[in-house]
């Protein structure tokens, strides 16, 4: 079974520029998550989708971050405009369902550097 795919793996941008990340979850997984992992910290949930609906976006900075999962499969996360503090690894994960017992499978992440 193919794992969670993410691209690009690395991205370097100037502050105030925009950037987008792409995620393809494991086939059949209804739930998709985007996490932000700042260096030296644990991942923090930004947004959770169940199919193409948002379940939790309470920690998403909505003035600059947006995410969509239009067809309930692939997802994109966008930052516009980027700030220096957005430098982090952005992890995508997927699981079969939304119950807390569901194991989340993580992709390799996108390392974003904002200069």
Per-residue contact flags (x/-) with other proteins for residues 20 to 59, judged by CB under 8 A: -------------x------xxxxxx--x-------x---
Question: Could you tell me the smallest distance in angstroms from the CB atom of residue 13 to other proteins?
Answer: 19
3 state DSSP class of 85: helix
**Residue matched to tokens 């003035």:** 63
| 39 contact partners, CB below 8 Å, separation of at least 6 | 88
**Residue matched to tokens 């969509």:** 68
User: Quick check: 103 binds other proteins (CB under 8 A)?
Assistant: yes
Contact 16, 81 (CB under 8 A): yes
User: Quick check: 61 binds other proteins (CB under 8 A)?
Assistant: no
Binding site for other proteins (CB under 8 A): 33, 40-45, 48, 56, 89, 91, 93, 98-109, 111
């Amino acid at each position: 079974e193919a794992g969670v795919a993410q691209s690009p793996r690395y991205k370097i941008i100037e502050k105030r520029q925009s950037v987008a990340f792409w995620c393809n979850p494991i086939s059949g997984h209804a739930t998709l998550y985007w996490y932000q992992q700042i260096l030296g910290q644990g991942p923090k949930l930004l947004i959770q989708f169940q199919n193409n609906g948002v379940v939790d976006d309470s920690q998403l900075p909505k003035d600059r971050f947006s995410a969509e999962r239009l067809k309930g499969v692939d997802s994109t996360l966008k930052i516009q405009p980027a700030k220096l503090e957005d430098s982090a690894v952005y992890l995508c994960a997927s699981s079969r369902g939304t119950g807390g017992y569901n194991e989340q499978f993580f992709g390799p992440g996108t390392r974003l550097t904002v200069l």
